[in-house]
Amino acid sequence: MSKRFIHSINYMRGLCMLGVIAIHVGSVAIVNPSPNLGLVAILEILSRFSVPAFFFLSAFGMFYSQPLDQPFVYKDYLRRRLRTVFVPYLAWSLFYMVYVSVISHNFSVFQPYAFFRTLWYGLAMYHIYFLVILLWFYFLMPLWRPLLRFMDKAPWLSFTLLFFANMAFNFYSSYIWTVHSDNPLIQDAFNFRLNYIVLHYLFIFMFGAFTAEHFGSVTDWLKKHGVLVNVFQAATTLGMLAAYYGVMHYLGYDPLSAVFTIHQLSPIGMAYTLSTMLFLLYWWECRPVPQWVHKVFSLLGDYSYPIYLVHPVFLSACTGLAAHLHIYLRAVHIIAIYVIVTACAAAYSWVVVEHKLPKWLSICVKGK
């Protein structure tokens, strides 16, 4: 018997996609010699839940469709996931490698080691590393299922321990761990550790798996603790903003350094991601949803994967045009770029989702 389609999860995909675009547009805003700190806070700080949230959503989808009480055939599972993720990853990586090479008039990325390095670590474009981490989560699926069974025996204790263990690991990896090696393979493995070491996102991934396995129980708990969920969200949001402004005011950080410090793997960033997942589930699953929210975020959720894959093309076009016209990118221009990139990426996604493509092209551009 097929399970019901969960609209709240699809809404979250759409919102997180908007957040990912915000982060990347924020990278344009932050290089401004005098950036608008409030706008940067929205684009680069308050959107930080978006990347780890996609691991939550991916795990939810995996375990909702393949629950622990059903047979699991790793070979069949992996074949489906490779078609959905690995083929588009290769296709879009090659596209971006050619795209960047043509624009820069530099084709050195196609030299053997550079080519391998780019594909192995997901360096073809700044956003595509996410698919590398996701593939590692897929490959290691035989570990996650028994781990969830074990954690299910005492979920409150096990997830609390995992949260703080993950926080400690991320703190060490983000702020303390250093490696200096003359061996380029070792140095690259360290420099790009965030692109493949799944431990950075293990808690949020496993929490997504747990939510899928016990969706009714989780939503029942949320319904009874709405005030706590809202207070938790307010506290972590204030915490993110306080940390962002605090490191600039008290430690003298510039905005770029502040953004690189107060990210999704920081202690407050992890708490903010967790609170946001609970907050969104509460408001979009446990409360009435306005019709316009349903329409807008259902559409964005349906189109989220193609939007994710293509949006850097439109962002590059916007910033390139602005540079050509010598436009000084003020806050109003940054907001306009965000709207244009989102609209163009959504229009592209409408074309590839709603129109029939040759099978091979469909798999390459949208994974199905």
Q: pLDDT tens for residues 132-177?
A: 999 999 999 999 999 999 999 999 999 999 999 999 999 999 999 9
pLDDT band, residue 363 (cuts 50/70/90)? confident
Distance of alpha carbon 154 from alpha carbon 151, whole angstroms: 6
pLDDT band, residue 34 (cuts 50/70/90)? confident
The answer to whether residue 311 sits within a structural domain is: yes
pLDDT at 2: 57
Specify the residue for token string 């204030």: 238
Give the sign of the dihedral formed by CA 38, CA 40, CA 44, CA 50.
positive
What are the tokens at 322? 């602005």
Taking only the tens place, the pLDDT of each residue in 284-341 is 999 999 999 999 999 999 999 999 999 999 999 999 999 999 888 999 999 999 999 9
Mean pLDDT of 257-270: 96
Report the percent of the chain where pLDDT is more than 90.
Answer: 88
Structural domain for 91, as ranges: 7-366
Kindly report the pTM of this predicted structure.
Answer: 0.93
Report the percent of the chain where pLDDT is more than 70.
Answer: 99
Taking only the tens place, the pLDDT of each residue in 67-84 is 998 988 999 999 998 999
The answer to whether residue 1 sits within a structural domain is: no
Q: Which of 217, 200, 95 is nearest to 156 (CA)?
A: 217
The pLDDT mean for the chain works out to 94
CB 340 within 8 A of CB 301: no
Mean pLDDT of 184-197: 94
Total domains, the chain = 1
Residues contacting 228, CB < 8 A, separation 6+ = none
Half-sphere exposure of 233 (CA within 13 A, CB side): 17
pLDDT band, residue 1 (cuts 50/70/90)? very low
pLDDT at 13: 96
What are the tokens at 165? 């263990």
The answer to whether residue 2 sits within a structural domain is: no
Taking only the tens place, the pLDDT of each residue in 82-130 is 999 999 999 999 999 999 999 999 999 999 999 999 999 999 999 999 9
Residues contacting 244, CB < 8 A, separation 6+ = 41, 45, 258, 259, 262
The answer to whether residue 305 sits within a structural domain is: yes
pLDDT at 364: 84
Q: For every residue of the chain, which 3-state class applies, written as one string?
A: CCCCCCHHHHHHHHHHHHHHHHHHHHHHHHCCCCCCHHHHHHHHHCCCCHHHHHHHHHHHHHHHHCCCCCCCCHHHHHHHHHHHHHHHHHHHHHHHHHHHHHHHCCCHHHCHHHHHHHHHHCCCCCCCHHHHHHHHHHHCHHHHHHHHHHHCCCHHHHHHHHHHHHHHHHHHHHHHCCCCCCCHHHHHHHHCHHHCCHHHHHHHHHHHHHHHHCHHHHHHHHHHCHHHHHHHHHHHHHHHHHHHHHHHHCCCCCHHHHHHHCCCCCHHHHHHHHHHHHHHHHHHHCCCCCHHHHHHHHHHHHHHHHHHHHHHHHHHHHHHHHHHCCCCCCHHHHHHHHHHHHHHHHHHHHHHHHCCCCHHHHHHHHCC
Specify the residue for token string 């199905």: 368
Taking only the tens place, the pLDDT of each residue in 57-66 is 999 999 998 8
The answer to whether residue 181 sits within a structural domain is: yes
Taking only the tens place, the pLDDT of each residue in 225-248 is 999 999 999 999 999 999 999 999
pLDDT band, residue 362 (cuts 50/70/90)? confident
Angle at 300 between CA 295 and CA 305, to 5 degrees: 150
